[in-house]
Amino acid sequence: MGTTYKVSISGSKGKINKSDIFSLLNAVD
């Protein structure tokens, strides 16, 4: 779950994108 969030952040170089937010929501779910 948390891994998905980490991967999203790493892929965005630490920047939060809309896709990252959706990934975080999915991870929380």
Which residue range(s) make up the domain with 29?
Answer: 1-29
Quote the pLDDT of residue 19.
74
| Domains contained in the chain, number | 1
The dihedral through the CA atoms of 24, 16, 20, 1 has a sign that is negative
Q: What is the pTM of this model?
A: 0.30
Quote the pLDDT of residue 10.
58
3-state SS class at 25: helix
Tokens 């948390």 map to which residue? 2
Quote the pLDDT of residue 5.
57
3-state SS class at 17: coil
Quote the pLDDT of residue 2.
54
The model's pLDDT over 1-29, given as tens digits with 9 standing for 90+, comes to: 455 556 555 555 556 667 777 777 776 65
Quote the pLDDT of residue 23.
74
